[in-house]
Amino acid sequence: MLHETTQQDQPEGVPPLSLTGERTLPDVPAENYWYRRHLVVYRWIAARCAGLDVVDMACGEGYGTDVLAQRAARVTGVDANPEAHEHARLKYTRPGVRFVRDLVEGFGEPCDAVVFLQTIEHVQNPREILEHFRSMLRPGGVAYVSTPNVLTLAPEGAEKSGNPWHVKEYRSQEFRELCESVFGSVELLGLFHARKLRVHELAIERGWDDLHPKLGITRPFYEWFTPAISERDFVLREHDLDRALDFLAVLR
Question: Over its length of 252 residues, how does the chain's per-residue pLDDT go in tens digits?
Answer: 556 899 999 999 999 999 988 889 999 999 999 999 999 999 999 999 999 999 999 999 999 999 999 999 999 999 999 999 999 999 999 999 999 999 999 999 999 999 999 999 999 999 999 999 999 999 999 999 999 999 998 988 888 998 899 999 999 999 999 999 999 999 999 999 999 999 999 999 999 989 899 889 999 999 999 999 999 999 999 999 999 999 999 999
* pTM for this model (two decimals): 0.95
- pLDDT of 3 reads 62
Domain boundaries, the chain: 29-194+235-251
Burial category of 194 from C-beta neighbours within 10 Å (exposed 0-12, middle 13-18, buried 19 and up): middle
Superfamily of segment(s) 29-194+235-251: Vaccinia Virus protein VP39 (3.40.50.150)
CB-CB neighbours of 5 under 10 Å: 14
Q: Would you give the DSSP letter of residue 30?
A: G
**Residue 20 three-state SS:** coil
Residue 183 has, within 13 A of its CA and on its CB side, a CA count of 28
